[in-house]
Amino acid sequence: MGEKEQSEEFWQKKLSRPVYEALRLGKLEAPHTGAYAHTNYSGVYLCAGCDTPLCSSDMKVDDSSGYATFSISPNDPNVRFVRTYSDDGLDQTRVICAACSGSLGVTSDDDMRSADDLEQGTAQNRFVHVSSNSLVLKKSLTPKNYPWAFAAFAVFFALVGFLVWSWTTQVTEVANYGNIDGT
């Protein structure tokens, strides 16, 4: 049991319905509809349930799955890979938050590249399709994400410079010639 695990009643009260369904019931949103499926912001992605740092934007990979997909190491102490089996043959590996046991998503490969490697911690990084509802992005303001911000600052300072120049020109004219309206 993770250190931040709580009762289901606690989670139902704390989380919104979509976040509860993702974290506690393991539901993924429809492909291409998640908030982070097609974004490229810099920052750290936190568990929406307990704020545990799960992955950075550098771990995000582009793929055509329609989900936010990250390359996550099986040795990462903040996540656990749990193999699930079902009677209908839809076996999969779920990825959960190690702190609160919230469901984050599923691995993209069905064969798990050998379950033995995963259990022994010797498997390589895994591509994980993560529900956007399971994550909160703590953005960092960088030129990569906000090139328009730097252009806006340049325009702002140019405008301020023009206004200051314009005002000082009028003040100089008033000082030299009297009122601007000619009186």
**Model confidence pLDDT, tens digit, residues 14-47:** 999 999 999 999 998 999 998 888 888 888 999 9
Q: pLDDT above 70 covers what percent of the chain?
A: 72
pLDDT of residue 111: 44
Question: Could you tell me if 25 and 104 lie in one domain?
Answer: yes
CATH assignment of the domain containing 44? 2.170.150.20
Inside any domain, residue 3: no
Question: Could you tell me if 155 and 175 lie in one domain?
Answer: yes
**Model confidence pLDDT, tens digit, residues 66-103:** 888 898 888 899 999 888 877 777 778 889 999 999 99
Question: Could you tell me if 127 and 156 lie in one domain?
Answer: no
Question: Could you tell me if 70 and 14 lie in one domain?
Answer: yes
User: What would the mean pLDDT of 95-124 be, rounded to a whole number?
Assistant: 71
Please report which confidence band the pLDDT of residue 123 belongs to, taking 50, 70 and 90 as the band edges: low
How far, in Å, CA of 148 to CA of 157, rounded?
14
Residue 137 has pLDDT above 70, yes or no: yes
Give the distance from CA 46 to its chain's centroid. 7
Question: Could you tell me if 96 and 154 lie in one domain?
Answer: no
Inside any domain, residue 61: yes
Domain count within the chain = 2
Question: Could you tell me if 42 and 60 lie in one domain?
Answer: yes
Question: Could you tell me if 96 and 174 lie in one domain?
Answer: no
Inside any domain, residue 2: no
User: What would the mean pLDDT of 121-126 be, rounded to a whole number?
Assistant: 63
Range of the domain at 180: 146-183
Question: Could you tell me if 99 and 168 lie in one domain?
Answer: no
Question: Could you tell me if 88 and 20 lie in one domain?
Answer: yes
Q: What percent of the residues of the chain are helix, what percent strand, and what percent coil, each to the nearest 5?
A: 30, 25, 45
User: What would the mean pLDDT of 166-179 be, rounded to a whole number?
Assistant: 63
Give, in order, the Cα–Cα distances in Å from 20 to each of 14, 26, 71, 174: 9, 9, 24, 67
Question: Could you tell me if 30 and 101 lie in one domain?
Answer: yes
